[in-house]
Amino acid sequence: MQLDQIDRLISDRGYRFSFPEEIETAYHAYRLHFRKRLNQALLIPTLVCYNVFLVVDYLLLPQTFWLSAALHLLFVSPIIVMSSMGLREGWNERKRDYCVALGPLAMIVQIMAIYTLNASEAAQHYQYLAIFVLIYMNLLFRLEYEQAVAASAFAATLYVGTLFVCHAPLPVLVIGTMASGAACYLSLSGNRQMQRDSRHGYLRRMQDRLRIEAAQTAAERDVLTGLYNRRRLARAFDQLLRGSTSRSVALLMIDVDQFKRFNDENGHLAGDVCLKRIAEVLTQIFEGSDDLVVRFGGEEFLVLLTGIEQPHAVRLAERIRTEIEALGIVHADGATHVTVSIGVTAGAICQGVQNALISGADAALYAAKQAGRNRVWPPAAPLASAASAALPLAV
C-alpha cells in the first residue's frame, strides 16, 4: 500500500463498499482476524442468551418444552459453536459469512418449528422471538452487506411463510410481516453503516501506520545521498544483538581522499555531486542484500556486513575502491581522480560490538591513509587490539 493511495481513497470517499484489489485483499485478511476474535467473544453470550429463553418456552408453550429444550441443546447450540469456530483461512468472504449466519438462522428455524406445533394463542406471541434473532444477526455478527441481505431474505421468507402456512390470524400475519420487514430494513441499514465505518477505520489505521513508517524512514535517511544514517546503524546493531549471536559481522569504513581540497577547488555543489555518485556506487554493489550502507558523516561512509569473515570483507572493499576510482571524478588540476581509502574490521556479534567495530575500522582507515591513500587496509591484529596495532604499521 502507498500512503498517497490511502489518502486519495479517504478524501474521495472511495472506501464505501470496495477497495482496489491489493487493499481489498489486505482488508479481508485483517477482517478475518477481527471476525475470529468477535465470534469467539460472542459465542458464550449467544449460547447463554439463547438457552435462557427456554424460560419463555416453559411459560408460553409448556406442552412442547422438552422438545424445544432438545432442539436448543442438541441441534442449535452445536451449530452455533461450529459456525463461530469454523472460519477457515482459505475461504472467501461469502463462505465465511454464510458459515457465521448458520447459528442465528438455526435459531429462527427452531423458533418457527416449535411455533408450527402449537395452535394456542400464546404461540402467536412466541413467534415474535424470530424477529429479535434477525436483528441480532445483522447488527452483531458483522456480515458483509450482500450476505446480510441474503440471510435476512431467507429468514424473513421463512418467518412470513411459516405464519402463512400455519394460518396465523390476520392481525398476527399483518403485524408479523410489517415487523419483520421493518426489522430487516433497520438492521440492514445499521449493518451497511457499520461496514462503511469499518472500511473507513481500516484506512485510517493504515494511514497512521504508513505515516509513522514514512516518518521513521525519513528520520533514518541522509538527505543528500539517500543512504541510511547513524540512527539506522544503531538500530541495526540492536536488532543483531536481539537475534543470533553466532553470526559474524564486518565493518567497512570508507573515506573520500582529499575531499576538503576537492570541495575548496571545485565548490560545495560539486562536492555534493561527488558524494551522491559514490553513494550510487555503494547502493548498486549492495542492492538486494541485507547489508547496510550508511553515510557516517561528512565524506565518510560505512558498510555493515553480516554473516561474513574479514577476508571476504576485504575483497568487497577492494571492489568498492576500484569502482569508485573508475568513476573518473577529477580534481581541479585535471590530473588526479577522486579515490577512497577503506578500513576493514570484523568480529562476532556481542554486547559492545558496535563501538569495537567502529574503533577497529577507524584505526584501519587511518592506517590506509598513512600508507598513501587509495587503498584497503585490513587490521593486522585481533579486533580488541586493532586500534593500537594499526598505528605502528602505518608509520
Rounded Cα distance between 307 and 309, Å, is 7
Catalytic position from the list 299, 300, 323, 325: 299
| 325 given a catalytic annotation | no
In Å, what is the CA distance from 90 to each residue of 93, 96, 332?
A: 10, 10, 66
Q: Strand 248-256 and strand 340-348: pairing?
A: antiparallel
> Roughly how many angstroms between the first and final C-alpha of the chain, as a whole number?
55
Angle of CA points 154, 155, 157, to nearest 5°: 65
Phi-psi region for residue 288, left (φ > 0), alpha (ψ -120 to 50) or beta? Answer: left
In Å, what is the CA distance from 310 to each residue of 303, 306, 345?
A: 13, 11, 6
User: φ and ψ at 119, to 5 degrees?
Assistant: -110, 5
106, 75 Cβ separation under 8 angstroms: yes
User: φ and ψ at 89, to 5 degrees?
Assistant: -60, -40
Which residues, in sequence order, are CB contacts of 276 under 8 Å at separation 6+? 224, 225
Q: Any alpha helices (H) in the chain, and if so which ranges?
A: 3-11, 21-52, 54-60, 65-70, 77-85, 93-116, 121-126, 129-140, 145-165, 170-219, 230-242, 259-266, 268-285, 310-325, 353-370, 386-394
Catalytic residue IDs: 299
